[in-house]
Chain A
Amino acid sequence: MTNMNMVEAVNSAIDTMLSKDEDVIMFGEDVGYFGGVFRTSDGLQEKHGKHRVFDSPLSEGGIAATAFGMGINGLRPVVEIQFADYIFPAYDQIVNEMAKVRHRSGGEFWCPVTIRTPAGGGIRGGHHHSQSPESQFTHTPGLKVVYCSTPYNAKGLLISAIEDNDPVIFFEPKRCYRGPFYGDPHNVPTWSGHPEAEVPESHYKIPLGEARLAMEGDSCTVISWGAMVHVCERAIKDSGVSCDLIDLQTLVPWDMEAVVKSVAKTGRCVIVHEAPKTSGFGAEMAASIQERCFWNLESPIERVTGWDTPFPHTTEWDYMPGPDRVIAAIVRTQED
C-alpha cells in the first residue's frame, strides 16, 4: 500500500492497465507529453510510448468518435475530456453512438470505451469549469456512469471501467484530486494519512454497481457521490445523528440492494449531490426509494443539491451544498 492522492491513484490505474493489456490506449487534450492539465497522465507517455498515450486535437467530438471506432475494432481506449463542461461536443457520439451500438448492431459490435472527466465545483471555475453533468448521462440507456470520491475507489473503479465491455463515463471530483473536501474552502486537508488514500500499487477492482458504506448508523440513510461524500461525512459527524453514509460510486447501474437495505433499517433518507436539483440523479433515487421502501419510510425523503442555476464564479460557496444544509436535512428527517 502507498499513500496516493486521487491524481496519483488515477494515474496508477491507467498505468496498471497500460501494462496489463496492450489493447489499452489513452488519449485526449494535453494528456500526452504534458501529462494532463491535472497531471493524471504524468509520466505515462514516457513509460508506455507515444503511440499508446498521446495528445489529440482539441475536438471532444473527434475524441469520442475516434474512441468509438477504436473500441468497435478491438481496442480499449481510455480518453480524457479535460473538463466535464467540455463534454457536450461529444454528446452525440456518446449518446447516439457509443451507448447504442451494441443494441443497434444486434450485439455484433460493442464499444469498451472509458471516458474520464474531471467534474464538480469548488475551484473557482465559474460555470464552464464546475458543472457536474452526471444526470445528462444517467438518462441514456447503454452507458454506465461512475463517480469516484477517494483515491482508493478512483483506482479500483477506473480499472473496472476500463475492463468493462460497455462504454463508461467516469467522473472525477476535481475538488478532491489533492485532498478530501469537507465543505470548508479555507481548510482543505491533503490525502496524506487518510485511510482511503492507502492504495495498492497493483491491479485491483471495485465492481461497478456496488456502493460503499462509508459510515454506519441507525437513524438516517445519507446517499451521495463525488466530493459531496466528504461534505456528508462532516455533516453526519456534526449532526450527532447516527447515519448510514452510502457513497453510491456507480450511478448506472446503482446499488439498489444496498440502498433498500439501509433505508429499510433507518426509515429516513437524505440524498445529496452538487448538480442542479431538477432532473438530478437524486430525483431518480428518491422515486425508486419510495417505490421500494414506501412502507418503511418514517419521513419524507430529503434532497440537498446545487441550485437550478448556472454555477457561479465569485459566490460559489453560496451554491455548493455545505455541511449546514445537509445537517438541517438530516435533522428534518428525525422529526415526527
Chain B
Amino acid sequence: MSGGNGVDPLYVPDAPHRPGDEADFTEWPWSPGDLGRPEIDCDASETVDLAEGLVRVLGDDNKTSGDWDPKLSPEVLIQGLEHMMRLRIFDDRMMKMQRTGKLSFYMRSFGEEAVAIAQTMALEERDWLFPTYRQPGAQFVRNRDMVSMICHCIGNEMDNVKGRQMPVHYTYKEGRFISVSSPVGTQFSQAVGVALASNYKGLDEVTITWIGDGASAEGDYHYALNFASIFQAPVILNVVNNQWAISTHKNFASKNGNFAVRGIPYGIPSIRVDGNDFLALYSVTSWARDRASKGFGPTHIEVLTYRAGAHSSSDDPSRYRPSDIHNYWPGGDPITRLSEHLKQIGKWSDKQHQELSEKIDSEVMAAYKEAVKFGDLANGPYPSSDAIFTEVYEEPPWHLIEQWDEMKKWRDS
C-alpha cells in the first residue's frame, strides 16, 4: 500500500499524550488583560483576535484584570463557588452509588464545573438552557432540588422522566433546562429553533446551548452556525473544548486546534475563553447575552477546558492517556482558582472552605438518603412499567393500548 515515496499513504493524527508519556502542555501565551471587550454591535471580523486568543480574567496571581473583569460582588463569587463545590461533591457521591450498583451509569463534570455554572449565572432566569450531559450543574443555579436529581439518576418512582432515560439525562422544564439527549450534537441546532421561537414571540429570552469538541464534527454543529447567522438568532453557541470525546482527542475534531475561529466565516462574532476561569466565563456570557437580547444575534464561544475525569462510569481513560494528566492542564482547576481569588481579596479562608465543603457533603448525604427511600436500582421499587406506554403519543392509539394490556398481563402474572 505504500505510495512508493516511503510516506504513509494515509495521514492519521494522534493524541499528544498517551499512557506512559509525560504531560508537556506548552504554557499559555495569553494573559488577562490582553484582549479588549468590543461593543456589542461589533462585526464578526472585529472578533478575530478574541477567537484566536483566549479571554482570561483571573491571573496566575489570583488577581483579576483587564476589560473583561465582570467586577462581580464577593457574594456572587461565593455563590458560584458553592454551586461548583456542590456539583463536585454531588458527582462523587453519585459515582459511589454507581459503583455499588445503585445507579446504572454516571457521568461527572469533574474539571468542567465552571462551564455551566458561571454561564447560567450570567443569564436571566427566563433564558433557555439546552445542555449536553456535561452541564447538569446549571440546575443548581436554577434551584433544582437535589433529591429530584438523584431520583432521576436512579430511575426510581420519583424520577420525573419515569425511568425512561439513562442517568444524567435530566429534564427540568421549571428551570428552562431542556431534556438531555444521548445522540451528541442534536441540541445545538435545535437551540437555534428555541431562540427563534422566542424571537418570533417578541420575548426578551436568550437561548444558550453547548456542544463538545468531538461532537462539533457532527452536521448539527454546522447547521446551527448557519441558521443562527442567517436568521440572527438570539442564541449563545458554546463549543466546550475539553480535549476528549471518550478516547478521541480533539486533534480528530480540529486540525488547527481552534474551534472559536470557525464562527467568523459564518459571520458570527466569536470568542475563545478560559473555561476554568469563572470570571472570564461569566463575563463573556454576559456580553453574548447582551448582544442577543439587543437584537445583534448569535455569539459563538469556545470554552477551553479539560475533561479531568473519565467520559463516564463505563470508561477507563488510563487506557488512552496518562492517568494524572489533568493535574498539568495550564488552566488548573476551576474550584481552586475561584477559591484562591476569593482568599486573595480577603473574602474567603481555608476554614470557610472546609466548613462549606462539610455542609454540602452532609446536604448531599441527606438528599441521597431521602432519594433512596423512593427506591434504588438494585432493590427497587421501580417506576411503574405503565410508563413504557404513556407519553409515546399525546393519546395512546389502539395498538399501544392492546400491547399495554398484554404487557400488564405478563407483568402481573
Could you say which of A35, A51, A85, A319 contacts B10, with CB atoms under 8 Å apart?
A: A51
Known contacts: A33-B320, A89-B218, A125-B166. The answer to whether A309 contacts B411 by CB under 8 A is no
A127 touches B165 (CB 8 A): yes
Q: Which residues of A contact B183 (CB under 8 A)?
A: 85-86, 88-89, 128
Chain A residues 49 to 98 lying within 8 A of chain B, measured CB to CB, are 50-52, 54-62, 85-86, 88-89
User: How many whole Å from B13's CB to the nearest CB in chain A?
Assistant: 8
Let me know if A187 is at the binding interface, CB within 8 A: no
Could you say which of B1, B18, B155, B165 contacts A33, with CB atoms under 8 Å apart?
A: B18
Chain B residues 139 to 156 lying within 8 A of chain A, measured CB to CB, are 155-156
B252 touches A124 (CB 8 A): no
B12 touches A32 (CB 8 A): yes
Let me know if B28 is at the binding interface, CB within 8 A: no
Let me know if A310 is at the binding interface, CB within 8 A: yes
B218 touches A34 (CB 8 A): no
A315 touches B387 (CB 8 A): yes
B218 touches A59 (CB 8 A): yes
Q: Which residues of B contact A62 (CB under 8 A)?
A: 217
Let me know if B383 is at the binding interface, CB within 8 A: yes
Chain B residues 193 to 215 lying within 8 A of chain A, measured CB to CB, are 212, 214-215
A30 to B320, CA, bound (A): 10
B247 touches A33 (CB 8 A): yes
Q: Which segment of B79-87, B124-132, B340-348, B399-407 sits at the interface?
A: B399-407
A59 touches B164 (CB 8 A): no
Q: Which residues of A contact B104 (CB under 8 A)?
A: 124, 313
A325 touches B410 (CB 8 A): yes
B217 touches A126 (CB 8 A): no
A37 to B388, CA, bound (A): 28
Q: Which residues of B contact A50 (CB under 8 A)?
A: 12, 14
A55 to B155, CA, bound (A): 33
Let me know if B309 is at the binding interface, CB within 8 A: no
Let me know if B389 is at the binding interface, CB within 8 A: yes
Q: Which residues of B contact A319 (CB under 8 A)?
A: 385, 388
B248 touches A313 (CB 8 A): no
A59 touches B217 (CB 8 A): yes
Let me know if B159 is at the binding interface, CB within 8 A: yes
Let me know if B351 is at the binding interface, CB within 8 A: no
Q: Which residues of A contact B383 (CB under 8 A)?
A: 314-315
Tell me how many residue pairs across A and B have CB atoms closer than 8 Å: 142
Let me know if B20 is at the binding interface, CB within 8 A: no
Let me know if A22 is at the binding interface, CB within 8 A: yes
Let me know if A218 is at the binding interface, CB within 8 A: no
Let me know if B45 is at the binding interface, CB within 8 A: no
A124 to B384, CA, bound (A): 16
A318 touches B166 (CB 8 A): no
A310 touches B155 (CB 8 A): no
B166 touches A128 (CB 8 A): yes
Let me know if A308 is at the binding interface, CB within 8 A: yes
B385 touches A51 (CB 8 A): no
Q: Which residues of B contact A54 (CB under 8 A)?
A: 10, 12
User: How many whole Å from B103's CB to the nearest CB in chain A?
Assistant: 10
A124 touches B105 (CB 8 A): yes
Query: B2-19 CB contact bits vs A (8 Å, 1 = yes)?
Result: 000000111110110010
Query: A121-138 CB contact bits vs B (8 Å, 1 = yes)?
Result: 000111111000000000
Q: Which residues of B contact A57 (CB under 8 A)?
A: 214, 217, 248, 252-253
Closest to A86 in B: B183
Could you say which of B155, B245, B407 contacts A314, with CB atoms under 8 Å apart?
A: B155
A312 touches B388 (CB 8 A): yes
Could you say which of B1, B11, B169, B246 contacts A30, with CB atoms under 8 Å apart?
A: B246
Question: Can you identify 28 A-B contacts, CB atoms within 8 angstroms?
Answer: A29-B245, A30-B248, A33-B18, A50-B12, A50-B14, A51-B1, A52-B1, A54-B10, A55-B248, A57-B214, A57-B217, A58-B218, A58-B245, A58-B253, A59-B219, A85-B182, A128-B166, A128-B182, A129-B166, A278-B399, A309-B403, A310-B392, A312-B388, A313-B104, A315-B388, A318-B385, A318-B410, A318-B411
For the complex of A and B, the 6 pairs showing the least CB-CB separation, nearest first, are: A314-B163, A34-B247, A128-B182, A57-B217, A314-B155, A318-B385
